[in-house]
Structure 1
């Protein structure tokens, strides 16, 4: 009987099916790098536009993708954007604007003071009126005897003329806030009409302000009256002359563009109330 030939089992070949997706992956990566290189090397403008679009979409403004944003674009289509960016106020431009406004304000107040001083001189009122320009205001001080009878708040006819002339000057500078304040000496006031110096000083300020506002070109919203009684003297109340100085009405034209633009009617010293 013949013997059957036994065949030895063949070794199985390794599975190489993974090579196909691996080759595809390498091809895709190569294509991606080629595209990125082409974009960055040949079209920087498009890269900038893309980065700006990402910034707007993701952050609503500038961010880490900013690309040469400080340089204005020469593209006519970008002129509108450049104009909008350049128009954003900067601290430096704000400071320049404020300095310009402060300079104009100073010039206006100096002009108004010059007009008032000229009126005072021409009408022989230098003993009854004076003006003072400082870091917070232009103050016009009027002695009470030029305006009122003793213990009264009715403005004298000749004083009404003064108030009207003053209102015409103020009309030239309508943007200032104005405070009219009344002051008395320390002699107690106790009448049926004015129970205290508070009442008398307040009414005097109010009556003088009303005459100023008869000029309809002035804005009442910019005016305020206040009575201080005897509590803000500018001279001693121990002498007749000192009491006379303390009885007064002050018209204060308030600065807007000053580091000390908070109104105060308390002088630092007696000398501070002079011209």
Structure 2
């Protein structure tokens, strides 16, 4: 093989290698930039949740049955009081009903449920538009019980059934006292199968008998 042919092949290989290197660099750059945009969107979302959390803390400061927390999933409102429901029953106490009605009104005023997308930072607005994202906030209510068996004369089939009906009662009161669309609410019942602690003591059982109201907000793909 001639030297000129070898040189031509070497030049071609070098050129091909340069192109591959440039492509890899380009894709790495795009990944880094995309991660940066996602980070900005997440920071914006967290700021909105933080603001609504502060609103709820103020609005529920005197509501004895409602404990408001901020966690990585959103805003958690915990109802874990033996006076919240009658033992083995599904109807909230009068006091809890009144507090849930006040909470429903407070939910209507939360900024995450009436977000003006005009306040989005320019970079976030651009990413949201390019990715065809829309803002969505939700209220999901989950019921939980201890592992005590259901009274066979109660008319309730099992703890799953009881936890779901309790969650549904809470959802109904929140929805009816708020101005939020019904599609923003979700209900689930887990019975005794997602305990916070062991059910081997009265204190443990009391912690596991609870309603969790989780308020979430995020940007999601338009359907």
- TM-score normalised by L of structure 2: 0.65
| Aligned counterparts of 2:59 and 2:178: Cα–Cα separation in 1 | 22
Picking from 148, 154, 158, the partner of 1:187 is 148
Query: Aligned partners of 1:192 and 1:165: how far apart in 2?
Result: 30
Tell me if structure 2 keeps the 8 A contact 1:144–1:249. no
Equivalent position SS for 1:176: strand
Q: Which moved more, 1:226-235 or 1:141-150?
A: 141-150
Equivalent residue runs for 1:1-275 within 5 Å: 98-123=38-63, 125=64, 128-171=65-108, 172=110, 173-174=112-113, 175-189=136-150, 190-215=152-177, 217-256=179-218
Instruction: Compare CA radii of gyration and give the structure with the larger one.
Output: 1
Q: Which has the higher contact order (CA 8 A, sep 6+)?
A: 2
Further displaced range: 203-212 or 150-159: 150-159
Q: More helix per residue: 1 or 2?
A: 2
Deviation at 1:95, TM superposition (A): 5.3
The DSSP-based 3-state class of the residue aligned with 2:188 is: strand
Deviation at 1:135, TM superposition (A): 2.2
Residue segments in structure 1 that go unaligned for 5+ positions in a row: 1-89, 259-275
- Is the Cα contact below 8 Å between 1:98 and 1:257 reproduced in 2? no
Q: Provide the alpha-carbon RMSD of the alignment.
A: 2.5
Unaligned runs of 5+ in 2: 1-29, 114-135
The structure whose residues are more often strand, as a share, is 2
For 2:86 and 2:214, how far apart are their aligned partners in 1? 23
2:139–2:186 Cα contact (<8 Å) kept: yes
TM-aligned CA deviation for residue 152 of structure 1: 1.0
Is the alpha carbon distance of 1:215 and 1:101 closer, same or farther for their aligned partners in structure 2, counting shifts above 3 Å? farther
